[in-house]
Amino acid sequence: MFTGIVETIGCVTACDAARGRHRIAIDAGWDDVAVGESIAVNGCCLTAASTDPPRFWVDLSQETLECSTLGCLAPNVRVNLERAVQIGSRLGGHFVTGHVDLKSLVIDRQPINDCWRYTIALPKNIAAYVIPKGSIAIDGISLTINRVMADRFELMIVPATQRATVLLDRMVGDEVNLEADLLAKHVAQYVRSLHGVGIE
C-alpha cells in the first residue's frame, strides 16, 4: 500500500528484454532496498528482484506491460518512486495500491500563474470513479481532480508537486498511468452487489 506521495525521483539505468523477460534497473540513491520489497515505480507496485546499491532491479509482467507505460522506459528516463507506507506514518495523500488501471493521454497542459493545469483523457471504464474534488493517482502521484467533463478531467499541478515528481516531463500526447480511487471502487462494487446492476 502507498500514499501517492512521491519519495524520490529515480533514473532508469538499464533495460533487459532478452529471453522472454523484461527487467529494468533503477538508481534510486538508496542503499537499503531489500530483495522482495514493494516499490511503486510511476505508480506501479513492483518487487525488488535484486539489488546493486544504489540500484535495484525489477521484473515487469505481461499484465504490467499491457496496463502501464513501463514497457516504454529506457536508460536515463526519470521515474517517480515511493516505498510502501509504514504503519504509524502520516498518510499525506490517499490510499494507493500501485495496481494501475490503465494508461491515458495528456491532451492539454497550460501554465496558470505558478501552477500547471493538466487535462487528461477520461477512459469510460473508470469514469464512474472520477469526481470533482476526488482523488486519483497519475504516475503514482496523489492528485485532486478539479473538473470532470464527459471525456476528460483537469488537475492543477502546484509548485511542490512540480519539484518532487516527473509530471512536468509529460507533454501533450504522452501517456500516463492512472489508478482510480480505491474507496470509490469498493463503493461501486457494493452498490452493484445490492442492485445487481453495473455502474456506467
Listed by start position, the domains of the chain span 8-83, 102-195
Kindly state the average pLDDT of the residues 59-79: 96
Largest CA distance in the chain: 52
d(CA 53, CA 32): 8
pLDDT digits (tens, 9 = 90+) for 114-143: 999 999 999 999 999 999 999 999 999 999
Q: Does domain 8-83 have CATH number 3.40.50.300?
A: no
Q: Could you give the 3-state DSSP secondary structure of residue 39?
A: strand
pLDDT digits (tens, 9 = 90+) for 170-185: 999 999 999 999 988 8
Q: What is the pLDDT of residue 91?
A: 77
Backbone φ/ψ region at 103: left (φ over 0), alpha (ψ -120 to 50), beta = beta
Kindly state the average pLDDT of the residues 5-21: 92
Common-topology check for domains 8-83 and 102-195 = yes
Query: Does the pLDDT of residue 24 top 90, yes or no?
Result: yes
Query: Does the pLDDT of residue 1 top 70, yes or no?
Result: yes
User: CB-based contacts of 143: which residues, under 8 Å, 6+ apart?
Assistant: 4, 135, 136, 137, 155, 157, 161
- What is the percent of the chain where pLDDT is above 70? 98
Question: Per-residue DSSP letters for 15-45?
Answer: EE-GGG--EEEEE-S-S-PPTT-EEEETTEE
Burial of 140 (0-12, 13-18, 19+ CB in 10 A): buried
* CATH of 102-195 among 2.70.50.60, 2.40.30.20, 1.10.3720.10, 3.10.105.10: 2.40.30.20
The phi and psi torsions of 5 (rounded to 5 degrees) equal -100, 105
Q: Are 154 and 146 in contact (CB under 8 A)?
A: yes
